[in-house]
Amino acid sequence: MAHRGKLKLYLGYAAGVGKTFQMLTEAQQLKSAGEDVVIGYFEPHERKDTIAKTEGLETVPRAVSEYRGTRLEEMDTDAILRRKPKVCVVDEFAHTNVPGSARAKRWEDASVLRDAGIDVLTSMNVQHIESLNDQVWQVTGIRVRETVPDWVVQEADEVVMVDVTPRALLHRLERGVVYEPGKAQKALENFFTESNLTALRELALRQTAHQIEDRREEELVRAPAAVFPEPIAWSAERILLWLTADPATAILIRRGRRVADYLQSDCVAVAVSRDGDSADERAAIERHLNFARNMRIPTVTIQARDPSKAVAEYARQEKITQLFVTRHVPNLNELVRLVRNMQLTIVAERAR
């Protein structure tokens, strides 16, 4: 069985910070060092300096398909597997593939390449990390639709933050380096405001710091006992997310996942099924259960007439210390009374 390929992620906070440029710079350096490097997918965006960085690098032709009368191109994962390079450049990690593709997302294609022993260099912006989706919406007013699960980002062997100041990025935009003039002006009036960019940059810095801290703790765990004789004090927190049909449950799942990652705690998602649930309610709960599973949160479904009592009993049984709920769970006041020895967090969907 082939050794799994490594994943190196170039992380930014907005288009134009230089993620793809830096990624291709490394690809050129690897080629100069004798490595077998190919470009699996590259999105030029008419940026001359970035396009120049592809010169001399082999590009695997894209797969072409028709969708609703439009000719679309995607990364040809099968062709890359046949070519089997040592390193593959995969731009725009969060991209959604055309319907009918073998896999829904480009990060899934990259995972297939890694399973075949191919190292992957890739790029994405912080706003595409699933658990940050609500924070990004609060900051920018834009709901990002293409997201990558947190566990996929955490699998990266190396994360490099490509950083420029918001003011420098705005100068690039004004000079036409990022987009052509018409598109650049529209961007300046909407997404590319200095306040938006500053907030997104802060999120990217925090995310990178979080990744570094996780790596440090993993290294401590693997280190010989003679070097680190003291046991590491892991978090004793155990988190339960109560999933309901409430649309705010998606926010609850993202918040819970992020808190659990930060505390390095166990996290479980619980749904309660009742005989009187409507078909729409059951469908909404199932969507939320699937979302939690996609975030790698274990799920449990309980059959009960009294949801609050059932969740409280399960929480006590599992020694839960923190309970996350939306404000519309059944019998919230009763739940507060039943879980007095636990921290109860009510996650609300805030209006902008």
CATH number for 298: 3.40.50.620
Cβ atoms within 10 Å, residue 203? 18
Model confidence over 256-299: pLDDT tens digits?
A: 998 898 888 999 999 999 988 899 999 999 999 999 999 999 99
Q: What is the pLDDT of residue 217?
A: 55
Q: Same structural domain for residues 61 and 133?
A: yes
Q: Give the pTM.
A: 0.74
> Are β-strands 158-161 and 238-243 bridged in parallel, bridged antiparallel, or unpaired?
unpaired
The more confident residue out of 68 and 106 is 106
Q: Same structural domain for residues 153 and 28?
A: yes
Residues 187-210 have a mean pLDDT of 83
The answer to whether position 45 is within a domain reads yes
Residues 191-218 have a mean pLDDT of 78
Say whether pLDDT at 346 is over 70. Answer: yes
Q: Same structural domain for residues 210 and 255?
A: no
Residue finishing a domain among 158, 181, 216: 216
Q: What is the pLDDT of residue 351?
A: 56
Over the chain, what is the mean pLDDT?
88
User: What gap in Å lies between CA 89 and CA 50, rounded to an integer?
Assistant: 13
Q: What is the pLDDT of residue 218?
A: 55
Q: What is the pLDDT of residue 222?
A: 52
Q: What is the pLDDT of residue 56?
A: 96
Say whether pLDDT at 305 is over 60. Answer: yes
Say whether pLDDT at 1 is over 60. Answer: no
Q: Which amino acid is at 242?
A: W
User: What gap in Å lies between CA 292 and CA 266, rounded to an integer?
Assistant: 14
Q: Same structural domain for residues 194 and 270?
A: no
The more confident residue out of 91 and 192 is 91
Write b or e for each residue in 137-154: b if 16 or more Cβ atoms lie within 10 A of its Cβ, otherwise e.
bebbeeebeebbbbebbe
Q: Same structural domain for residues 54 and 167?
A: yes
Q: Same structural domain for residues 263 and 334?
A: yes
Residues 119-141 have a mean pLDDT of 91
Q: Same structural domain for residues 264 and 208?
A: no
Say whether pLDDT at 220 is over 80. Answer: no
Confidence of residue 157 (pLDDT cuts 50, 70, 90): very high
Say whether pLDDT at 236 is over 90. Answer: no
User: What gap in Å lies between CA 87 and CA 120, rounded to an integer?
Assistant: 6
Write b or e for each residue in 285-313: b if 16 or more Cβ atoms lie within 10 A of its Cβ, otherwise e.
beebbebbeebebebeeeeeeebbebbbe
Q: What is the pLDDT of residue 213?
A: 64
Domain count, the chain: 2
The answer to whether position 68 is within a domain reads yes
User: What gap in Å lies between CA 183 and CA 68, rounded to an integer?
Assistant: 26
Residues 203-229 have a mean pLDDT of 62
Q: State which residues form the domain around 60.
A: 7-216
Q: Which residues pair with 299 in a beta bridge?
A: 269
